[in-house]
């Protein structure tokens, strides 16, 4: 699995297709966050932007490898593990970008307000919740579950939006908590996002094995 | 490894591409599959390689290291040939150093060593195919699945792939291949099947080993005969090789084009 993760990571890095989603995330932050803004509010905003960005990164990882190369890797390691490695790579990049965004917010945000460790913990949890939710959306809106690229991109956009506005969605719970000024740890949302990502990932991996 | 009553269809109500396929793939066997275009050969190969899962039936005993060579490898991957092979070698379970060593060795054998540092996207079709073949062979797989892997290779690389297949089977690996050239590895396959109307039918059931040819040849000092052949050393030096008649020309060609070339003393038909 380590070898597959390294391979997928190299593919994403060298293809430079990580650049567009990461730049989009940077643009979100640049537009919505000003140095001196309140920290909890800004952490919530930056985490919310992570949902579509991670969905995009996961979709990119699932489509960066041409079919022929994917077949070779699938014969070597099994289609489930190949698909899982691509999902985890996208999730990792999303969480990494979110982590950098949260660090920027913590360093540049308003000095008053909650203590730094408390805010950092809440920020890390919300980054994880939103990255996991975005990864679930990306896994469901990509091959092999949704192959037509037009529909898949539209579905990923719509799915990300729904994940942020639907009542009870883990991303919404985590983001609205922070935006409301609370830095309590969103443990329920974290568990929900993890369960959602596992279910979506498992569905996508099993479908990858069944449909080749 | 065996397939039991394997069937595959795409979609819940799609037509069966394959149905009721039972196949035994013992270690060391060289198995040829033929059939019409679109007849299900590639589907069978993908099922055997584990890229695809059967809709019904079961596949058991697949060797741990399985490698697949697709017919076309237009891999627009953002990696150099060497880096790609290194990654795939590690995916196959090799260490980094071992993967790099074998990648260099296989690129050299297929005459593509000069392209090791070329991005895959810039390689010609034939050189990409060499990378695809190297990717499969560098793991020393217990099961090697070749879907018209010879297509696009130049003549020396085709001969090298023939040799690599012989080495694999000699080392106990199972090789399953499809090729449109009926002369490909002629006489060598242990089993020969045809995919017909979604079913797998043996070709020449019960055929014996067929006529054989005995070749007596002396190589340069220290030379060993091509692997996968029945060879016995002769007291006067050199070897006596017993090969299937259909493969004898290929073996002679290989001996005569080796550097330095072998000396052929005698060629005789065996009943």
| Domain ranges, ordered by start, for chain B | 1-208, 212-270
Letter string b/e over residues B122-131, b meaning 16 or more CB atoms within 10 A of that residue's CB = ebeeebbbbb
pLDDT of the residue at B207 = 47
- Which residues, 6+ apart, have CB-to-CB distance to B234 below 8 Å? B216, B240
Prior bond to A105 cis, omega within 30?
A: no
Residue of A nearest to B72 (CA): A68
**Inter-chain residue contact B77 with A78, CB threshold 8 Å:** no
- Is A69 part of the contact surface with chain B (CB cutoff 8 Å)? yes
Q: What is the pLDDT of residue B204?
A: 65
Contacts of A211 in chain B (CB under 8 A): 10, 52
Please report the beta strands in B106-218, taking only residues with DSSP state E, as ranges in sequence order: 143-147, 174-178, 191-196, 199-202, 212-218
pLDDT, position A64: 92
Smallest Cα–Cα separation from A4: which of A57, A94, A74, A66?
A74
| Mean pLDDT confidence for B129-139 | 95
Residue B39 DSSP symbol: S
Give B194's contacts (C-beta < 8 A, 6+ positions apart): B33, B34, B35, B200, B201, B202, B203
Q: Measured between alpha carbons, how far is A144 from A154 in angstroms, rounded to an integer?
A: 16
Q: Which of B50, B83, B84 sits opposite A75 (nearest CB)?
A: B50
Give the Cα-Cα-Cα angle B26, B33, B36 (nearest 5 degrees).
160
Give one DSSP letter per residue of A92-145, joined into a string: HHHHHHHHHHHHHHHHHS-SSSS-HHHHHHHHHHHHHHHHHHHHHHHHHTSTTT
pLDDT confidence of residue B52: 92
Please list the ranges in chain A whose pLDDT falls under 70.
212
d(C-alpha B188, C-alpha B246), whole Å: 8
Categorize the per-residue pLDDT at B251 as very low, low, confident or very high, splitting at 50, 70 and 90.
confident
> What residue of B is the nearest CA neighbor of A3?
B91
**Residue B84 to residue A188: CA distance in whole angstroms:** 42
Q: What is the pLDDT at residue A207?
A: 92
Give the pair of three-digit tokens for residue B157. 């690389």
pLDDT level of residue B247 (50, 70, 90 thresholds): low
Query: Model confidence at B206, in pLDDT bands (50, 70, 90)?
Result: very low
Residue among A4, A14, A75 whose CB faces B51 most closely: A75
Of the ranges A2-6, B35-39, B178-182, which is most confident?
Answer: A2-6
pLDDT in tens, B50-97: 999 999 999 999 999 999 999 888 778 999 999 999 999 999 999 999
Q: Chain A residues with CB inside 8 Å of B102's CB?
A: none
- Token output for A33: 């966050």
What pLDDT, on a 0 to 100 scale, did the predictor assign at position B205? 47
Q: Does the predicted model carry a pTM greater than 0.90?
A: no
Q: Write out the H or E segment, with its range, that includes residue B180.
A: none
**Cα B174-B72-B68 angle, rounded to 5 deg:** 25
Report residue A12 as tokens: 């994403």
Average pLDDT for chain B: 88
How large is the ipTM? 0.90
Whole-angstrom Cα Rg for chain A: 17
pLDDT recorded at residue B235:
85
Angle at A133 between CA A130 and CA A138, to 5 degrees: 120
Task: Check CB contact under 8 Å for B46 and A6.
Answer: no
pLDDT (0 to 100) of residue B210: 65
**Which option is the CATH number for B1-208: 3.50.50.60, 3.20.20.80, 3.40.1190.20, 3.40.50.300?**
3.40.50.300
A19 and B CB contact within 8 Å: no
Mean pLDDT taken over chain A: 94
**Rounded CA gap, A28 and B67, in Å?**
44
The residue in chain B having the minimum alpha-carbon distance to the alpha carbon of residue A70 is: B51
């Amino acid at each position: 699995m380590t070898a597959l993760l390294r391979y997928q990571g190299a593919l994403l890095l060298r293809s430079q297709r990580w650049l567009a989603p990461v730049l989009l995330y940077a643009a979100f932050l640049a537009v919505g966050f000003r140095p001196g803004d309140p920290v909890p509010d800004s952490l919530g905003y930056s985490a919310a932007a992570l949902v579509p960005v991670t969905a995009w990164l996961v979709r990119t990882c699932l489509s960066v490898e041409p079919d022929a190369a994917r077949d070779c890797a699938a014969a070597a390691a099994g289609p489930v593990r190949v698909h899982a490695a691509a999902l985890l790579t996208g999730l990792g990049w999303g969480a990494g970008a979110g982590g950098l965004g949260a660090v920027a917010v913590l360093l540049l945000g308003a000095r008053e307000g909650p203590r730094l460790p408390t805010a950092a913990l809440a920020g890390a949890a919300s980054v994880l919740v939103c990255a996991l939710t975005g990864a679930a959306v990306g896994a469901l809106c990509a091959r092999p579950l949704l192959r037509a690229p037009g529909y898949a991109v539209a579905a990923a956009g719509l799915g990300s939006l729904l994940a942020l506005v639907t009542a009870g969605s883990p991303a919404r719970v985590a983001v609205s908590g922070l935006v409301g000024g609370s830095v309590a740890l969103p443990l329920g949302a974290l568990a929900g996002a993890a369960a959602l990502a596992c279910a979506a990932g498992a569905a996508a991996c099993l479908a990858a094995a069944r449909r080749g | 490894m065996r397939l039991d009553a394997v069937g595959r269809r795409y979609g819940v109500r799609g037509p069966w591409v394959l149905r009721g396929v039972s196949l035994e793939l013992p270690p060391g066997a060289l198995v040829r599959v033929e059939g019409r275009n679109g007849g299900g050969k590639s589907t069978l190969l993908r099922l055997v390689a584990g890229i695809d899962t059967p809709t019904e039936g079961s596949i058991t005993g697949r060797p741990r290291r399985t490698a697949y060579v697709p017919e076309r490898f237009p891999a627009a991957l953002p990696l150099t040939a060497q880096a790609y092979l290194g990654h795939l070698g590690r995916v196959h379970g090799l260490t980094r150093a071992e993967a790099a060593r074998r990648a260099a060795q296989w690129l050299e054998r297929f005459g593509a060593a000069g392209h090791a540092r070329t991005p895959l996207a810039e390689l010609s079709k034939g050189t990409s195919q060499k990378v695809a073949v190297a990717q499969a062979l560098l793991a020393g797989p217990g099961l090697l699945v070749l879907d018209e892997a010879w297509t696009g290779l130049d003549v020396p690389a085709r001969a090298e792939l023939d040799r690599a297949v012989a080495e694999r089977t000699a080392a106990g690996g199972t090789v399953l291949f499809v090729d449109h050239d009926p002369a490909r590895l002629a006489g060598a396959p242990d089993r020969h099947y045809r995919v017909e109307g979604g079913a797998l039918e043996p070709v020449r059931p019960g055929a014996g080993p067929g006529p054989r040819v005995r070749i007596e040849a002396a190589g340069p000092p220290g030379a060993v005969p091509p692997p996968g052949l029945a060879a016995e050393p002769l007291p006067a030096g050199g070897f006596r090789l017993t090969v299937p008649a259909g493969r004898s020309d290929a073996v002679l060609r290989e001996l005569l084009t080796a550097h330095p070339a072998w000396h052929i003393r005698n060629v005789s038909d065996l009943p």
